[in-house]
Structure 1
Amino acid sequence: MFGYVRRAFPFTLRTRVSAQKLSGAALVSTMTAFALYRANFLSTPLARCQGSVSEHGDYGGRLCTLNHIAAVKHLMSQLRDKETDTKTFRIYSDRIMRLLLEEALAQELTVETRQSPTADYYKHYRPHSDSDYAAVSIMRGGDSMLGELFNLLPDVAIGKVLIQRDESSTDKRPIFYYAKLPERIEEKKRVFVLDPMCASGGSAAMCIQKLIERGVSPDRITFINLVTVEKGIKKVMETFPEVTMITACIDPHLNEAAYICPGLGDFGDRYFGSKLPL
């Protein structure tokens, strides 16, 4: 039994207690201390939104950006280049999407204490099961994010929403056409809304509203996108104060046609090869 105590107790406790010399009362007391030690770590939610948000406000810790990461700056520069062909554009887009999705999943981990092969203890980050998640793609750009999502969550439930902005209107207001959502989506622990571009934020806000109308709690919704601007952030985050937003890059402004600048051009056309790069 003493051998078990020696193996099971963390190093900080083992340095204070000699297992061979423990009396019955001391053993009980020490094991109680160990239980309290484990309780401090077991099932502790991981802190959310660790990305850089200082330039645009933290919105209560619900806005997470990856534009402080050198790898993201490199990958984004390849996407911005008008000479980048479709194949290369897809490759670099997928690499950024993987980072975004990994960040989104990392915010859903539970911290536990486990033992490594060296018999020391460490903080172990345990994810939810695939069935705890759902994702809703805002077609068609959002569909480009599904490949990497399936690599991470093969059994995730997928919904589709078709929302397009009215190019003839001065405010480019969104128009809703279609939605097909997973059954019992309101019971999921986390619902990801996928759309690579967020300009005015109208499409994302409309999609989120549709989810709320279906019973999804806004504090369980995470909007994931590649590029946005301040206007899009404010539209989403101020309309829905409980929603989380994760983006790779925040660009400076929109042009007169309400396109993100410097932006990437039309993401859907470039990713799916519908048109040649601008």
Structure 2
Amino acid sequence: MHGLVVQRSLCRVSGRGVAPKRGIKRIMTVRATTDAATPKPKPKAPQQMLVYSPPHPLIKHWLAILRSEYTPSPMFRSACSELGRLLIYEAVREFLPTMEQQVQTPLGAVADATLVDPSRPVKVIPILRAGLVLLEQSSQVIPFQETYHVGYVRDPATLQATSYLNKLPPQLSPDDLFLITDPMLATGGTIVKVVDDIVSRGGRPENVRVVAVVVAPPALKKLADRYPGLKVYTAMIDEQVDERGYIVPGLGDAGDRAYGTPHH
């Protein structure tokens, strides 16, 4: 059965919503929807979507700065960039391809060395606008990367996302590695479409990492049902999405706040 695992989080996500679990800081399994009427062979290694919420004090600090309505735009953008660097560090910990070599030290000795493989740059995909801010310090933790911008606008009435920019290559390799950044995963419509685009061009969902500041159960449920095996890294799982499609308590409109755009 497909599912979702939340690691080091204080919430359990299911099809019925979020149930806070006090004191739970380990791994919790969440099952995605399956067709119970159709018998399926028992899988040897069931895939599960993983959601990581690292319990780092700096991640909590920058999240608090981002949540405050009194944080001015320049500080909001700086905090978002710093939080992006920390979350990306966690996301690529066991993700970057490496190669073994030897280097000569200043003392004339030879030492074994592990280096990031430059032949397999990570394809980073910021979802415009605010996804760009999370990537401002990504070069500090991803030595070799290629950037492909995608842009989506959400209809305020239907909450459906429509693409207005897509710079992804027409053909991708199953071995390509992808990092998608978007400050908020609320209803899940946009992030699912981006992963759909990757898969339709030849990429594999298990090679996708998603970095977000805050996420909500509707987006996690939609991703878990469609793409078990995908991994999400976030500062916090918030409990709900309001009728406008905003995460509560959330951050407000991250794009407007990052770029000083008046929100109407």
Which TM-score bucket, shorter chain as reference?
0.7 to 0.9
Alignment gaps of 5+ in structure 1 = 1-48, 118-123
**Counterpart residue number, 2:41:** none
**Counterpart residue number, 1:142:** 131
**Counterpart residue number, 2:50:** 63
Kept in 2, the 8 Å contact 1:111–1:125? The answer is yes
Tell me by how many angstroms 1:256 deviates: 1.9
Tell me by how many angstroms 1:94 deviates: 1.4
**Counterpart residue number, 2:210:** 223
Q: Larger Rg: 1 or 2?
A: 1
3-state SS of paired residue (2:71): coil
Tell me which stretches of 4 or more aligned residues in structure 1 moved more than 4 Å: 58-61, 109-115
Kept in 2, the 8 Å contact 1:189–1:220? The answer is yes
State the distance in 2 between where 1:127 and 1:199 align. Answer: 33
2:177 to 186, 190, 215: 190
**Do residues 152 (structure 1) and 124 (structure 2) align?**
no
Kept in 1, the 8 Å contact 2:50–2:229? The answer is no
Report the TM-score when normalising by structure 1. 0.70
**Counterpart residue number, 2:8:** 52
- Aligned CA distance change for structure 1 residues 130 and 113 (closer, same or farther; 3 Å): closer
1:168 to 157, 166, 173: 157
Number of residue pairs the alignment of both structures matches: 221
Tell me by how many angstroms 1:50 deviates: 9.7
Tell me by how many angstroms 1:71 deviates: 2.1
**Counterpart residue number, 2:122:** 133
Say what the alpha-carbon RMSD is for the aligned residues.
3.1
Which residue identity is paired with 1:244? K
Kept in 2, the 8 Å contact 1:196–1:227? The answer is yes
Percent identical among aligned pairs is 25
Which residue identity is paired with 1:227? V
1:107 to 94, 102, 125: 94
More helix by share: 1
Which residue identity is paired with 2:11? E
**Counterpart residue number, 1:207:** 194
State the distance in 2 between where 1:233 and 1:212 align. Answer: 18
State the distance in 2 between where 1:109 and 1:139 align. Answer: 24
Kept in 2, the 8 Å contact 1:130–1:154? The answer is no
More strand by share: 2
Kept in 2, the 8 Å contact 1:223–1:245? The answer is yes
The answer to which structure, 1 or 2, has the higher relative contact order (CA under 8 A, 6+ apart) is 2
